[in-house]
Every structure is written in structure tokens, then in C-alpha cells.
Structure 1
């Protein structure tokens, strides 16, 4: 993805936004990732 035409953002701006949201949230991301991996393996 070079640019997001819908949002008029560059790839680095999109990545920066995602990372900021990831680190600011109170969700336990390790636990959530583990749950998603387990669910995927059970399929």
C-alpha cells in the first residue's frame, strides 16, 4: 500500500496511527493475540 486514497494518508502515517492506537489501548494485546491464534488452530 503506497497511499490510502480514502484518507489521503501515506503508508507511514497509517502505520504510525495503528501503532499509536495499539500502545494507547488498555487491551492486553499478548492475551488477545494468543486467543486469536488458538481459535485459528481449532478451525
Structure 2
């Protein structure tokens, strides 16, 4: 019986790690897009 709460905690931890990884990845992609757009805009002038 004591294994069930541990399993739930482990699942939550894994989910939070996954969400943090996805959030960081999306933030990184958005940042790279903004930098690329700014670089292309500067080249046109």
C-alpha cells in the first residue's frame, strides 16, 4: 500500500520536469526566431 503515494509523487515530478523542459524549449525557439527576424531586418536596411 505505501507504494501508491510514492508512485503518484514520482509521476508528478516527471510531469513537472517535462513541462519545464517543454517551456524552456518553446522559449528558446521563440527567442531564436526573434533574433533571426531582427538580424534579417537589419540586413535589409
**TM-score bin, normalised by smaller chain:** 0.3 to 0.5
Give the TM-score taking structure 1 as reference length: 0.38
Report the structure, 1 or 2, having the larger strand content: 1
Report the structure, 1 or 2, having the larger helix content: 2
Higher relative contact order (CA 8 A, sep 6+): 1
